[in-house]
Amino acid sequence: MLPLSWGFYTDDVMMANPIKNPNIWAWWIVAAGVLILPLLLGDGYYLNVMNFIALYSIVALGLCLLTGYAGQLSISHSAFFAIGAYSSAIFCLRFNFSPLISVPLSQGISVLAAWGIGAVVLRLKGHYLAIATLSFTIIVGVLIIEMAWLTGGLQGLSSIPPISLGNFLIDSDRRFYFVVWPVTLLLLLFALNLVESRIGRIFRATKESEDITRLFGADVKRYKVKVFILSSVFASLAGSLYAHFVTFISPMTGSIMFAIDIIMVLAFGGFTILWGAMIGAASLTFLNEYLTIFADYKRAIYGLSLIVIMLFFPNGLLQGLKDSAGLLLKLRRRESVKNASSQ
């Protein structure tokens, strides 16, 4: 309809296109770092901590897409973590499936569950949505305890087989590291691509105003359900990997505390930056580890540090550090200009 062949900007766009995106550079650097790290750390404690950081990150990335970008607050990620963990474990223990089959199969179950729940609860907004998803978490928790014939009830399920490739078992920290981190990095890349795409623009627009976004022909309802499914599958995949790594799961695995922990991860790192999810997962896991000396006071210190961050960096640690770095730079520049002019 419009004469779009004027071509003023053709060259400019062509030039601008090759990976100018700083996110992609950052991703390569982090990926290289993560793959080199085990060589420096050696086996043992820190490798184990890194594995948990990866699992936390996957869940947090999913929630970041849903809440940080698309603006839909959900407290159901621990439930999907549990669904992923339990269904994969059940497929292996009760039906003798190989983990290589049970893990993808469990994601299928999570997709169906998330679709069913999402199509209903995403009609709600804000606090109501949060409460509806919280109820789902509680229901899943109750089912896990009550359906003991399937889930082992309060005793949970143990001796879950580790993931294996033929005779090669993914049963050590080091081996699991090289499974979970590549998965995490690929999911991060997927998410980074997604939020910069036409779908990501709809997420961000939806967060601001659903009604206006719909006026531009976007079927917002469908996109909300889709991002809910995607986000839930992130959580459930982390759950499945967790089950085969730790080889023991119990109702504690998908407790509400875990859902809150993940929201805290984002509050720490920043809701609206995917990297924030990674930073948040790392800092909270380390905090968790170092605070074990305080035993029961751990949670209190945890909470206190969150309050401090919320007070000083309401947009999360990452954005906060970024902003203050920018401010410092600006002040310094102003000072040097002042010095230069006074001389």
Partner 1 sequence: MLHLSEVTKKFSGITALTKVGFRVKAGTIKGIIGPNGAGKTTLFNIITGVFPAGSGSIAFRGEDISRKKPEVIARLGIARTFQQTHLFKSLTVLENVMLGRHYRTKAEFFACGLKLPWARREEKEIRMQSLEYLNLFGLADKKDRIANKLPMGEQRYLEVARALATEPHLLILDEPTAGLNEQERDAFRDMVFKIRDMGITLLVIEHHMKFIMEICDDIMVLNFGVMIAEGSPREIQNSPQVIEAYLGTDEDIDY
Distance between CA atoms of 4 and 198, rounded to whole angstroms?
A: 20
Give me 141's structure tokens: 């928790």
Q: Closest Cα partner for 71 from 233, 259, 206? A: 206
> What is the residue whose two structure tokens read 């720490």?
268
| Residue 67: CB minimum distance to partner 1, A | 14
Q: Which amino acid is at 166?
A: G
| Residue 265: CB minimum distance to partner 1, A | 21
Q: Which residues bind partner 1 (CB under 8 A)?
A: 1-2, 4, 6, 8-10, 12-13, 17, 190-191, 193-194, 197-202, 204-205, 207-209, 211-220, 226, 230
| Residue 239: CB minimum distance to partner 1, A | 21
13/295 with CB nearer partner 1: 13
Distance of CA 283 to the CA centre of its chain: 14
Distance between CA atoms of 83 and 202, rounded to whole angstroms?
A: 29
Give me 168's structure tokens: 């090669």
Give me 126's structure tokens: 């804000």
Question: Would you say 192 and 23 are in contact if contact means Cβ atoms under 8 Å apart?
Answer: yes
36/186 with CB nearer partner 1: 186
In angstroms, the Cα distances linking 240 to 101, 105, 134, 232, 255 are 11, 10, 21, 12, 15
> What is the residue whose two structure tokens read 């580890």?
289
Q: Closest Cα partner for 74 from 129, 123, 135, 136? A: 129
| Residue 16: CB minimum distance to partner 1, A | 8
4/293 with CB nearer partner 1: 4
Beta strands in 54-178 (DSSP E): 164-165, 168-169
| Residue 288: CB minimum distance to partner 1, A | 30
- The CA radius of gyration of the chain, in Å to the nearest whole number, is 22
Residue 171 three-state SS? coil
Q: Closest Cα partner for 80 from 235, 245, 238? A: 235
Question: Would you say 206 and 230 are in contact if contact means Cβ atoms under 8 Å apart?
Answer: no
| Residue 30: CB minimum distance to partner 1, A | 18
| Residue 87: CB minimum distance to partner 1, A | 23
215/293 with CB nearer partner 1: 215
10/336 with CB nearer partner 1: 10
Give me 186's structure tokens: 């690929």
Give me 191's structure tokens: 């998410």
Distance between CA atoms of 92 and 155, rounded to whole angstroms?
A: 17
127/198 with CB nearer partner 1: 198
83/191 with CB nearer partner 1: 191
| Residue 212: CB minimum distance to partner 1, A | 5
6/149 with CB nearer partner 1: 6
| Residue 71: CB minimum distance to partner 1, A | 10
196/335 with CB nearer partner 1: 196
